[in-house]
Structure 1
C-alpha cells in the first residue's frame, strides 16, 4: 500500500522497452545478406540459408512437438529465429543432432554476443556460430561472406553494412548480426578473446516487436499527469528512437543517449543530461543505477522497471522498483516494491492513478475526522468559556466518535478517483499533510459545525436543557452526514459525484437509522439522555444539518470563481 501511494507522487517512469512498451512477440521480417535487404520469405540464397542455420545453432530456444504441430519455446528473440528456421525447413532439434554443440560462450550485456561451437560433419572441423549486436559483431569480423565466397572485409564494406544497419533500425527493427568461422580444435580455454575473433560476417536479421496498442494512450496520460516517460533499452538508439516516436515518448527537444555516453559522463554531466533525456539506448544494468540517481538528484520521484538479476540494484535504488511478473527473475521481484503481473506499461500508469486515488481518499478521511472532531472540541470549549451548561454529555461524544465519525470515514477509503485525477501535477513528496489550504478548510468547516450546533443548542434551550442537548446531539451527528459530501468532492461541485460511492450512502443510511433509533426508542432515549422532539424542533434539526452542506458548497462556488 505505501508503494502504491508513492506511485501517486511519481514524476519519472524509466521503463524497459521489450515486453513493457512492446508486446514481446518478436517476428523476423527482414534479412540482409549479399548486400541486399529483403523480406524474410522473398529469396532463398546460399547466404540466407547459412545465416538462418547460424541463427538456429547459436540459440538456446527449444522445439516442442505435439503430433504434427511444432511450437517454439524460450526467449522471444530466440523463438523468433527458430520460427524463421522452421519457415526455411531448419529444425532446431535436427540441427543439434547433426551438428552437436561442443562448447558455448553465453550472451552477456557487456559483450552483447552469444557464441556456440559445433562439430560440423561436412567439413570435419568445428563451426563457431556467433550472433549478437551489430556494433560488437563488426569489430570481431575480418571477412565477409558474399554470394558464396569469403573475402576480406573492407572499410567500404563496413560503411555499407553500417548504413544498412541504421536503415533497419530506422524501420523500428531490432537487428541481430550473424557470423561464423571454422577451427580445427577447441582452444585450451573457451573465452571471447580466443574464439570471438577473425570471424566471417554473413548478414543481419531484422525483427519487429510491435508496440502495445494501449501504451500510446498511457504515455499521453503520463504527460497530462506531469509524468515523464523515459525508455531504457539494450537496443540501438536508432531502433529505440523509431519506437519511442511512435509511442509519443520522444518529442521535440528530447535527447537520446547511449550506455557508452553514460559511462563517459561525470555525475554532474549526467544530471544535466537527464533534464531532456527521453531514451537511454544500449544500456547495461550498471548504467541504470546512475540514471536513476541522476533523476533523483533533480528532485524527481522515479519509478524503474526491471526483470533481470542485474537490475536489482537499480530497482532497490528507485523510489518505486517495478519488477516484471511474467519475465522477471526471483531476485528482481525481491528487490522491487511492486510486481507488474502483466508486464504492461499501461498498468504502471493505472497504478499511478490508483496511488493518487488512495492519497486523495486518505486526505478526505483526515479532513473529515479533523473537521468534525475539532468542531466537537470548539463546541465544548465555547461552553466552558461562556459558562454554559454542558451541551454534550460524555455518552454523546462517545457515540459520535464511534459511529457517526468512523463509519463514513471508512467508506471514504473506497471513494472512486476524482475526475481529472490524471490531469493534475504529481503530489509533491516534500509537501506535508497539513498544508495552509488544508488547515484553512478544516478550521472553516469546524467553525461552521460549531456555529450550527450552538444555534441548535440555544433554540432547544428555550424549552429545556434536555431538549437543547438532544438538538445539539442530533445536529452534530446529522450535519457531519451532509458535510461529508462536500468534503469528498474537494473544490468541485458535490452534485457531480453525489451517487458515485454506494458504500458511503450505505454507511450514512446506517448512521441515520441508528441515530433515529437513539432519538425515538424510549429505552435508548433514557440510556443516551435524550428526549422526544416536536415537529418544529425536527425541522430545525434538519435545516441546520443541511446548512452545513449548503454553506460549504456556496463557499466552494466562490473559491472556484
Structure 2
C-alpha cells in the first residue's frame, strides 16, 4: 500500500526529478547579473570621480553636494536597468503561447515556448503520434495458416482471404483466436451519430474487436455470455494481459494476449483445426519466424492464447499464466501519418534529431522508422532489455547513435532523457501514460497527448498536443524559434537603449552641463515608452531562414559577441545623440538670448524627446532585410504603436499638466524640432547603412546554418 504500490513508485520517481532552469531563465539571469554589477560599478566610479573632482577644484563635499550626487547615482541606476524586461519577456512568451494554441499545442508552462525553439532532440512515441492511431488487423496466423484481412479503419466490413476457403465452420483455431481476443480486451466498437465507426479504448485492443466483428462475432453478446471474473492487467514489464472467464457451458478459461516472445514461452500446447496438441520446438521456431516476417512488414504483432481452468481454483498469475494453448498471431497495421514524413525531413534539416520510442518488436519499429525517415542504415537500435542492462556511462557514449528504441518501458524513457541531457542537449519527450510522468518532468520539454494522455502525464508535461500529432511538435518548434528570435531582438533593443541613457547622463556633465534626464523621465522611458515597441516586435513573423538554422546550444549566450559589440556601438551613438541634442539646443537658445533657466528646461525637453523618439524608430532596424524592407515588413501592431507613442511624446511636450509632471516645455521653434528629429534618426541611419557590420569588423553570419 501507499508508496509501495506502482503509483507510489511513480510518485517517488517524480519527487526525485528536480525542476531545472530553462535555457531562457539561465540566460536572462546571466544578463540580469551583469547589468546589476555594471550599474553598481558605474554608480561608484561616477561618485568617486565627482568627489575627487570637487575636492581637487577646492570645493566642499557638503550635504547639498551629497544630495546632488545621490540624485545623479539614482538617475544612473534607473538608466542602467531595463525595468520592463521581465514583463516584456513574459508578454512575448504569452503571445507565443497564443500562436501555439492555434496550432493544437497547449502550453502549460510558459518558458516551454522558448525552450522548444532551442530543442535539439525529439523523443517520440510511435503509436498515435507518428502513426494515425487506427490499428487494423491485416494478417492472422492461426491453425497453421496465414490469413489476410481486408478493410480499412474501424468499420466492421472486410474479407478473410487464405490459401483455401476461410470460414468459422472449418477454422476452429481462428474462431477461438477471435473469441479470446474479444474476451481479453477492454475496448469497444460503436457507431456514432454520423454513422462513423469508432473505438472506445486502446487502438491495439480495438483492432481485435473490429476483426472479430468482421468475422460475424457479436462483441456485446460474447462478453455477456462469458463474463470476466478475474484479470491480470497488461504492463510494459509483463508485456501481456490475462483474463479469466466463466463460460456459457459452465467451464472456466483463461485468455491471454501479449508480445509473441512472452506468450510463446507460457504455452505448452497449440490449437490446430483438427484439435489441440503439444507444442514442439519446431512449432515455436515457426511461430517466431512468422512473427518476425510480420514485423518486417511493419506490422505490430500480438499473440493470443487460452487454457481451461479448474472451476474451484483460486487463480494467481503464477498458477494461471502457464500451460497455455497457443491460438495464433495478429499482425496489425497502424499507417504513418502523411504529414510526419515531411515533418521528419524538416527536423533533420534544422539540426534536430528525431528518436522513436515504442513498445513494438524491434523489426516492426525499424520498418516504420525507415518509412517515416527516422532510421537510416548504420543507425543503432536498442531494445528494452539491452537498455536496462547497459551501464549509464556506456549508454551516454552511444545515445547519439540510437534512433529507435523497441520494447522499452516508460521508466526506460527517463534513462534516455538523462543520457541526452548529460550530453548538453535540449530534449523534448512525448508520453501519454501514468508511468511516462517522470520522463516528461525530467525532459526540457515534456509533451503529453491531449486525446490519449492520462491526467498524470498531462500534469507533468509542459505542453499538451490536442491532436496527438508529431507534426504539431515541429510546428511548435518553429514558433518557439520565432519567439526566441524576437526575444533576442527585444533584449538587444532594451539594453542598447539603456546603454544610451547611461552614456547621455555621463557625457553631458563632462562638458559642464547639468544631467539631461530626470529619474521620472527615465522610468517613463524604460517602463512605458519602450514597452510598446518591444511588444510590437515580439509579434514579428519568423525570419525566412529560421528553419534552416541549427538550434541554439545551451552554452550559447542569448546575445552573441558581435551583437554585444553592436549594442555598445549603437548605445554610445544613442547616448551621444542625447548629450549632443541637449548641448546644441542649450547653446542655440543661449545665442538667441534666452535666459539660462529657460534654455535648460527646453534643452532638457529636447534630450527627453530624443530619448523617447529614437528607440521608437530604432526598433525597426533590428528586423531582417534591407533598410527599406525593415520598415516595410508587415507588422500592423508595431506600426500602430509607433504612431501612438509619437502622439504620446507630443502630449508630454504640449499638454499642460503632463509637461509639468515630466519637466518639459512646449517646443515652438522648427529648428529645435530639427535637432530632435535629426538626433533621433542618427542611430537608426548609421546602423541601417552599416547593417550587421561594426566599424572595425567585416560582415559575418550570426548563426550557423544547416548544410
TM-score over 0.5 (shorter chain)? yes
Q: Which residue of 2 aligns with 1:164?
A: 290
Tell me, what secondary structure is at the counterpart of 1:128?
strand
Cα offset, 1:206, TM superposition: 1.3
Aligned with 1:8 (options 117, 126, 129): 117
Length-normalised TM-score, structure 1? 0.91
1:511 aligns with 2:638: no
Aligned with 2:352 (options 220, 227, 235): 227
Q: Which residue of 1 aligns with 2:369?
A: 244
CA deviation digits over 1:63-118, x for unaligned, max 9? 55789998642211122111111111111211123323232222122221112222
CA distance, structure 1, for counterparts of residue 199 and residue 356 of structure 2: 29
- Please list every run of 5 or more consecutive structure 1 residues that lacks an aligned counterpart in the other structure: none
Aligned with 1:29 (options 138, 154, 161): 138
CA deviation digits over 1:249-278, x for unaligned, max 9? 112432111001111111122112212000
CA distance, structure 1, for counterparts of residue 521 and residue 229 of structure 2: 85
Query: Alpha carbons of 1:405 and 1:102: their partners in 2 closer, same or farther (altered >3 Å)?
Result: closer
CA distance, structure 2, for counterparts of residue 393 and residue 128 of structure 1: 85
CA distance, structure 1, for counterparts of residue 623 and residue 567 of structure 2: 13
Contact 2:667 2:673 in 1 (8 A): no
Contact 1:403 1:511 in 2 (8 A): no
CA distance, structure 2, for counterparts of residue 72 and residue 458 of structure 1: 78
Contact 2:440 2:447 in 1 (8 A): yes
Q: Which residue of 2 aligns with 1:530?
A: 665
Contact 2:189 2:210 in 1 (8 A): no
The farther-off stretch of 473-482 and 392-401 is 392-401
Aligned with 1:544 (options 672, 675, 679): 679
1:367 aligns with 2:501: no
Contact 1:144 1:151 in 2 (8 A): yes
Aligned with 1:462 (options 570, 588, 597): 588
Query: Alpha carbons of 1:30 and 1:186: their partners in 2 closer, same or farther (altered >3 Å)?
Result: farther
Query: Alpha carbons of 1:520 and 1:560: their partners in 2 closer, same or farther (altered >3 Å)?
Result: farther
Q: Which residue of 2 aligns with 1:262?
A: 387
Tell me, what secondary structure is at the counterpart of 1:547?
helix
CA distance, structure 2, for counterparts of residue 133 and residue 426 of structure 1: 39
CA deviation digits over 1:143-184, x for unaligned, max 9? 222333323322322222222211211221111111222233
Contact 1:494 1:553 in 2 (8 A): no
The farther-off stretch of 161-170 and 63-72 is 63-72
- Please list every run of 5 or more consecutive structure 2 residues that lacks an aligned counterpart in the other structure: 1-109, 150-158, 591-598, 694-698, 702-707
Q: Which residue of 2 aligns with 1:299?
A: 424
1:118 aligns with 2:245: yes
Instruction: Report the RMSD for the aligned CA atoms in angstroms.
Output: 2.7
Query: Alpha carbons of 1:377 and 1:15: their partners in 2 closer, same or farther (altered >3 Å)?
Result: same
Q: Which residue of 1 aligns with 2:216?
A: 89
Q: Which residue of 2 aligns with 1:428?
A: 553
CA distance, structure 1, for counterparts of residue 267 and residue 444 of structure 2: 43
CA deviation digits over 1:383-403, x for unaligned, max 9? 122223444455644543344
CA distance, structure 2, for counterparts of residue 69 and residue 456 of structure 1: 73
1:501 aligns with 2:635: yes
Contact 2:513 2:583 in 1 (8 A): no
Aligned with 1:80 (options 196, 200, 207): 207
Length-normalised TM-score, structure 2? 0.73
Query: Alpha carbons of 1:462 and 1:180: their partners in 2 closer, same or farther (altered >3 Å)?
Result: same
Tell me, what secondary structure is at the counterpart of 2:416?
helix
Cα offset, 1:28, TM superposition: 1.4
Tell me, what secondary structure is at the counterpart of 1:275?
helix
Q: Which residue of 2 aligns with 1:147?
A: 273
Tell me, what secondary structure is at the counterpart of 1:472?
helix
CA distance, structure 2, for counterparts of residue 111 and residue 84 of structure 1: 25
Tell me, what secondary structure is at the counterpart of 1:180?
strand
CA distance, structure 2, for counterparts of residue 526 and residue 511 of structure 1: 19
CA deviation digits over 1:186-213, x for unaligned, max 9? 532321x221212222211111112222
CA distance, structure 2, for counterparts of residue 399 and residue 255 of structure 1: 58
CA distance, structure 1, for counterparts of residue 192 and residue 580 of structure 2: 82
Tell me, what secondary structure is at the counterpart of 1:326?
coil
Contact 1:214 1:346 in 2 (8 A): yes
Q: Which residue of 2 aligns with 1:134?
A: 260
Query: Alpha carbons of 1:69 and 1:268: their partners in 2 closer, same or farther (altered >3 Å)?
Result: closer
Cα offset, 1:556, TM superposition: 2.0
Contact 2:620 2:630 in 1 (8 A): no
CA distance, structure 2, for counterparts of residue 261 and residue 140 of structure 1: 22
